[in-house]
Amino acid sequence: MRAVKLKEINENKGIEKSRILITCAKGIAPFLKEEVLQMGFPVLSETIAGVGTEGTLDDTLRLNLLLRTGHRVLFLLREFAARDADALYQAVLEIAWEEYIAEDGYVCVTSSVDNPSIRDSRYANVKCKDGIVDRIKEKCGRRPDSGPDQDKVVVNLYWKNDGCSVYLDTSGEPLSRRGYRKIPLTAPMQETLAAAVVRATGWNGSSHFINPMCGSGTLAIEAALAGLNRPSGLLRDNYGFMHFRGFKQSLWNDLRAQTKKEAKKSLGCRIIATDIRTEAVEAAKKNAATAGVEHLIEFAVCDYSGTPIPDVEGPDRGGIVILNPEYGERMGKIKELEGVYKGVGDYLKQKCKGYRGYIFTGNPDLAKKVGLKARRRVQFFSGAIECRLLEYELYEGSRKDKNTEAP
């Protein structure tokens, strides 16, 4: 068992600090870690899909509001050893749930279970839920409802071998659901992944951001929000913590007001997003409008090669050009895409000099068709698919030869 102040947490009286686990998609943890540190929180642990920190329940409001790359902010209530479901039930019963969940509320239990006595994790969820509602019934005379909906109180159980951790999931629905993407189209990039990709490029809102093949506009929208320093969490009106007993609405209002005050109103650069499909551009425009950044993005329907590239002087001075072409699964489609990737390479080489080029793809063979030498490759995952963000330095003039892929 890890060293948590068990007594303090068992009794739950005036619990101040606890460990906080912020989960993320595989590969995103290094970017999430940067965000956590920038917000002034310590990083106590890092795994492939999460970052551990510590703080109070109030701190989780700030984390939910400001983090762009995290998925869920989990506040540790108790850690204990449990060999089987009955031991789990007994330990859960000891947590002062009545301090967090109203007797007329609603709770959903989610879990990750790897214990030899449990064949179906749903059984662990039920035992955990029973412990919660029985405790509340004993203390308050009535039990809250329970079920699968994650839009109210969510409790997360992590159970590996004999070690159990019980968390309040302060996010409820994952933070990738920003609330702006009403029209996702096909193969959209998850919002948290797009935020991490923008972060990986190092783009900071002071140079142009060009996004041909924009699809539903996720990269351009996340860039606009980051460039303005406007939290993506402002767009959401429901979080798990809002359903906890004693939720401090005034603290939440103050945090929102503060971040709005600190956000820029405009950018000193251009964000251009284009796609060959009219319906994609229409969807991207609508999504950008919902996100409140439509006025900052110049949209156009065109082939990627027709995307306007503002004139710039010198390498990197112009900003970045980033494309997320399809990477296909069917062979016929892949043959067709080979030509697209080669064309994208020519476009970057010939039309985007002075910019930094990026391609995000899940197909390394197609990436080779680009014909440019990547100076950096960053590993990401889109669902189960391993992807790479490839960075190309697009030299101007006499340094042009350096763009060519070494044989």
Residues that bind ligand SAM (CB under 6 A): 185, 187-189, 212-213, 215-216, 218-219, 275-277, 280, 303-304, 324-326
Report CA torsion sign: 117, 121, 126, 131.
positive
* Nearest-angstrom CA–CA distance, 239 and 261: 22
**d(C-alpha 35, C-alpha 110), whole Å:** 26
CB-nearer residue toward ligand SAM: 115 or 211: 211
What is the spatial distance between Cα 386 and Cα 380, in angstroms, rounded to a whole number?
6
Q: Phi-psi bin for 265: left (phi > 0), alpha (psi -120 to 50), beta? A: alpha
Which CB atom, from 11 or from 303, has the smaller least distance to ligand SAM?
Answer: 303
CB of 237 to ligand SAM, least distance (A): 23
Residue with the CB atom nearest ligand SAM in the bound state: 215
Which residues touch 50 (CB under 8 Å, ≥6 apart)?
Answer: 21, 22, 23, 24, 29, 32
What's the min distance (Å) between Cβ of 84 and ligand SAM?
A: 44
CB 63 within 8 A of CB 55: yes
Query: Which residues share a beta bridge with 322?
Result: 358
> Shortest gap between Cβ of 381 and ligand SAM (angstroms)?
15
In the complex with ligand SAM, the residue whose CB is nearer, 267 or 284, is: 284
Residue 202 or 339 with smaller CB distance to ligand SAM: 339
Based on CB atoms, which residue is closest to ligand SAM, 232 or 324?
324
Residue whose CB is less far from ligand SAM, 104 or 303: 303
- Residue 284 beta carbon to ligand SAM: minimum distance, rounded to whole angstroms: 7
Question: Where does 109-217 have alpha helices with state H?
Answer: 121-140, 191-201
- What is the closest distance, in whole angstroms, from the C-beta atom of residue 214 to ligand SAM in the complex? 6
User: Residue 396 CB, nearest distance to ligand SAM (Å)?
Assistant: 24
Shortest Cβ 329–ligand SAM spacing (Å): 12
- Min dist. Cβ of residue 287 to ligand SAM (A): 9
- Closer CB to ligand SAM, 240 or 325, in the complex: 325
Shortest CB 370 distance to ligand SAM, Å: 14
Mode of pairing for the β-strands spanning 145-146 and 153-160: unpaired
CB 18 within 8 A of CB 41: no
- CA-CA distances (angstroms) from residue 163 to 5, 79, 158, 394? 15, 7, 8, 51
- Do 24 and 49 contact (CB within 8 A), yes or no? yes
* Cβ atoms < 10 Å from Cβ of 330: 9
Task: Identify which of residues 90 and 305 has a Cβ nearer to ligand SAM in the complex.
Answer: 305
Between 104 and 365, name the residue whose CB sits nearer to ligand SAM.
365
- How far, in Å, CA of 155 to CA of 150, rounded? 9
Best CA proximity match to 391, nearest among 196, 191, 200: 200
Which three-class secondary structure state does DSSP give residue 47?
A: strand
